[in-house]
Amino acid sequence: MPVVTELRRFPVKSCRGEVLGEGVVEPWGLRGDRRWMLVDEQGEAMTIRERRGMVLLHPQLREDGGLLVRDTDRTDADELRVDVPSGADLVPVSLFGNTPFLAALAEESAHAWFSKAVGEPVRLVHADDPSRRPANPEYAGPDVPMAFADGFPLHLTAEESLSDLNDRIRQGPMADQGPLPMVRFRPNVVVSGAAAWAEDGWRRLRIGDGLYRSVKGCARCAIPTTDELTAERFKEPTATMARFRRWDGAVWFGTNLVCDTPGVTIRVGDEVEVLETRDPSDGPPR
């Protein structure tokens, strides 16, 4: 039976993450995951896709939900402390040009610190009420709330699939760009103990005490090509995945989950029981 081998959360979208031993799964995802986000002056999300240096910013979530942030690329930069905003100052924000929703502005000192780190004017916002942004009901079902994750509350990947991908990179023309660590794909939950790409066919899961639906595969952008320690960008893994994981004009790795039992705690070592499957021969659900 597969087991959970790693848990990660990313307190600020597109910045460096934290490794966890356990975490509470809320309706909108792992507690503390992507509850903060940087936006430009128009309120649009800023991500590693366009600003790869964001991966060098290292936020840590405080017990009260606030942040401590370091810039790993600037040894002279002071550590930033950010409190959870009251929610009195709300602004419209959007991800990828989709329907705007309201989020709470952090204090001016946070905007100034991140603007200096990113190299352009930015604002830091907090998802004070994730129910303002629903996940796509076509896949997730009705009324699934979201914080600032791309599309769904949780992202799961499998070690065996990464191992197969790394084997293919090793045999290809850009072998020097591998092997890749799993953090390149920025998952919340990593599992091991199933066949490579078995997650393409998973529909319903029990992980520890929680019940989950696998609702859609994860189409990959440029983020996995970005080294999480240096922010250098490469051609892998996109080049290799394009040869064997390409459908509908995108390359795919991992699957998106919705938790049907929010409030449960997920832990490293939890067993993963596959309760329902689909035919994986045509790749992930998309």
Strand, coil or helix: what is 189?
Answer: strand
Whether pLDDT at 77 is above 90: no
Q: Which residues lie below 8 Å from residue 28, measured CB to CB, with a gap of 6+?
A: 127, 130, 144, 145, 146, 147, 149, 153
- Retrieve residue 258's tokens: 């919705």
pLDDT tens sequence across 181-216? 999 999 999 999 999 999 999 999 999 999 999 999
pLDDT tens sequence across 123-177? 999 999 999 999 999 999 999 999 999 999 999 999 999 999 999 999 999 999 9
* Rounded-to-integer distance, Cα 139 and Cα 240, Å: 28
Q: Tell me, what's the pLDDT at 130?
A: 96
- On average, the pLDDT of the chain sits at 97
Whether pLDDT at 265 is above 90: yes
Whether pLDDT at 178 is above 90: yes
* Rounded-to-integer distance, Cα 219 and Cα 217, Å: 6
pLDDT tens sequence across 217-256? 999 999 999 999 999 999 999 999 999 999 999 999 999 9
Q: Up-side HSE of residue 177: CA atoms within 13 Å toward CB?
A: 20
pLDDT band at 74 (very low <50, low <70, confident <90, very high): confident
- Retrieve residue 30's tokens: 């792992």
* Rounded-to-integer distance, Cα 277 and Cα 201, Å: 5
pLDDT tens sequence across 57-69? 999 999 999 999 9
**Residue-range domains of the chain with CATH:** 3-28+135-282 (2.40.33.20), 31-132 (no CATH)
Nearest to 232 by CA among 220, 242, 224: 224
